[in-house]
Amino acid sequence: MRCWLLVLVLALPAASEVALTIRTPMAPPEWALLERELLRYNSEACERFAQRYLDERGYLKHVPRWGTLDGPDDAIETFWNWTLLHALGGSDSVLALFKKAYEGHLRQYGELRTKLTELAANGAYYKEFITQSDWFHTGEGMRAFMLQGLSDPHDSLYRARMKRFAGFYMNEDPEAPNYDPVHKIIRSLWNGSKGPMMRKATVYDWVGDPVQGSFHLLHNPAGRTKMLDFMTYYPRMLAHCNEYLDSVGDSFLNLAATGLALNAFMLTGESKYRDWVLEYAGAWRERTIACGGMIPSTVGLDGKPGSLYNGQWWKGTYGWNFTIYDGEIERIAHRNYFHAGTWPGFGNALLLSGDQGWTDLLRRQMDLIYAQKKVENGRVLLPQMYGDPRGYRYNGKPEWYHYTDNLFVDRLIEIYLRSMDRRDLERIPKTGWIAFLEGQDPDYPVRALREELDAVRRKVQAMENDPTTPDTRLADYLLDLNPARTDELVKLTLGGFFGGRIWILHSRFRYFDPERRRAGLPPDVGALVEKLAADSATLTLVNLNPIEPRTVIVQAGGYGEHQFESAEVAGRNVTIGGPLVTVRLAPGCGGRIVFRMTRYKNLPTFAHPWDRGWYGRE
């Protein structure tokens, strides 16, 4: 790994030294009009959602429970992209409502009490963080919180919480000794503000106490179409988790915890957070190399892959070999989540180091999977599992199994966008957004934005037709009613991609409104990322307002991690040499800008342009 020196320059100007002025009239493009409408109606739909499903305290109107099937992580995950929506240019009310919901959530679930598990005997949260859980679920509940810093880096409560939460994984709190700095492991799959779980979990840890009433149990197919009596169904929920009990030792899921330290670094610039991420992720890199490029799913307390299972590094809850009998649905289930922690964790290390070796690890993992592909009846099939298949006697030779048509396309897109290596593009289907970037589907932006607007309509209609009442809703029910739609806005305006369980913004651009001193596109401004290459990106900006000019600050990367070297606009080439550029758009004008860029040149920061020094690498 290359070594980087953190240089904090405080004497630089508050905003970009370079300004571009665009005075070429542009007829309002349909994509730009649709972007503005989507931002507007997204925001209004969120306001309606909050009006219906939040009370005056910010409590979610539902029956709170402890558990991973419909518990605290699902309740706050309902708002997972509201902070992102604000950072894109959504209304200030969206950010304010999320903060109201988050404070209410901490109080609401702090009042929860359980009898069958000690984990929530005195509330689901301790020191405002989950007491103990796995990062598959902890991360789900922290998605909006992780992205709040994009809009709110100066919120003192947010900064204090992020530093405290990161400290739980850096041994800064004696009550939470989650990390072993000698062996460089997080000591258990179950971890949190009360430290690691150094015993086997119980089904009650996973499921929690029963409650009276009938509910839609959305994690089960039957519960999606009808209400089920909870007390009657509860034994089946316990049976869902009968084989989820191994907890001790590190798990590849825990790499997602690096998001806390990354965010703490981007808020404070304190090198200890960066050092910890690179130390912990670096230990996982060494283990992956030792396993021939396979990312091990379990690491023993001695820091060695598979040492708790006689060297079988593919074991463990949610691991490569996690093929179990699910007593709830009464059939074998395959639940290998090898990508859930590693893709965000190694991505965080890339942001903090600029080292593409982190991307190489993910590519190598996909190479090993794709080397096993089969073609049956014209369909490409890939193995989803690795180890000793259930029902067979283990003979010491693990094997690939459970072939399906899941080609891990989202993971491949993430690898490509980080590397920008054209060879990584070869395995990705040339459809949709990728086809548009390749010049093959020019109508994609309009089509995609229309679909997003229609999705907002459907979500609002579903809210209006929702037959449930607060006493017949569990936490997961409202996940499907969240009206905020941000995926296409991230792709089209930022050149970024959210493909599921990534809680850090990886993008080529971000925008700021210098007049309102906030994150997001200014009013009336549309942005379209038309092409991405390893050393360049093409962006069209337009001011839809025919009367007033607009100014937008464009940043290279979600956190300023990239650098603009120069910009070509209207036949003129302008040297930039930094992560920020100010673009002034005359009334009704717009234009295409080709930026020459060096990617991952700067250390990432949450700081907004008007009050930041630049974090540079040497």
Q: Which of 548, 481, 443, 403 is nearest to 74 (CA)?
A: 481
**Tokens of residue 182, six digits:** 């000698």
Q: Give me the sign of the Cα torsion angle 557, 562, 564, 569.
A: negative
Helix (H) or strand (E) holding 284: helix 271-290
Amino acid at 98: F
SS (H, E, C) 465-519: CCCCCHHHCCHHHHHHHCCCCCHHHHHHHHCCCCCCCCCCCCCCEEEEECCCCEE
Q: Is residue 613 part of a domain?
A: yes
Q: Is residue 363 part of a domain?
A: no
List, for residues 555-603, the tens digit of each pLDDT value.
999 999 999 999 999 889 999 999 999 999 999 999 999 999 999 999 9
Tell me what pLDDT residue 503 has: 82
Q: Give me the sign of the Cα torsion angle 4, 611, 552, 456.
A: positive
- Residue 508 CA to residue 497 CA, distance in Å, equals 10
Q: Is residue 516 part of a domain?
A: yes
Tell me what pLDDT residue 369 has: 98
Tell the residue number behind the tokens 């014209």, with chain if given: 378
List, for residues 394-404, the tens digit of each pLDDT value.
566 899 999 99
Helices (H), 202-257: 203-207, 230-240
**Tokens of residue 133, six digits:** 């859980």
The domain containing residue 513 runs over which residues? 508-617
Q: Is residue 295 part of a domain?
A: no
Tell me what pLDDT residue 411 has: 97
Task: Please tell me what DSSP assigns to residue 460.
Answer: H
Helices (H), 371-443: 409-419, 422-425, 432-437
pTM, rounded to two decimals: 0.95
Ranges of the chain whose pLDDT falls below 70 = 1-16, 223, 391-396, 500-501, 613-618
- Residue 108 CA to residue 121 CA, distance in Å, equals 14
| CB-count exposure of residue 24 (10 Å: 0-12, 13-18, 19+) | middle
Q: Is residue 447 part of a domain?
A: no
The full DSSP string for 110-125 is: HS---SS-GGGBTBSE
Q: Is residue 560 part of a domain?
A: yes
Q: Can you give the CATH number for the domain in which 547 is found?
A: 2.60.40.1180
- Residue 301 CA to residue 540 CA, distance in Å, equals 52
Q: How many domains does the chain have?
A: 1
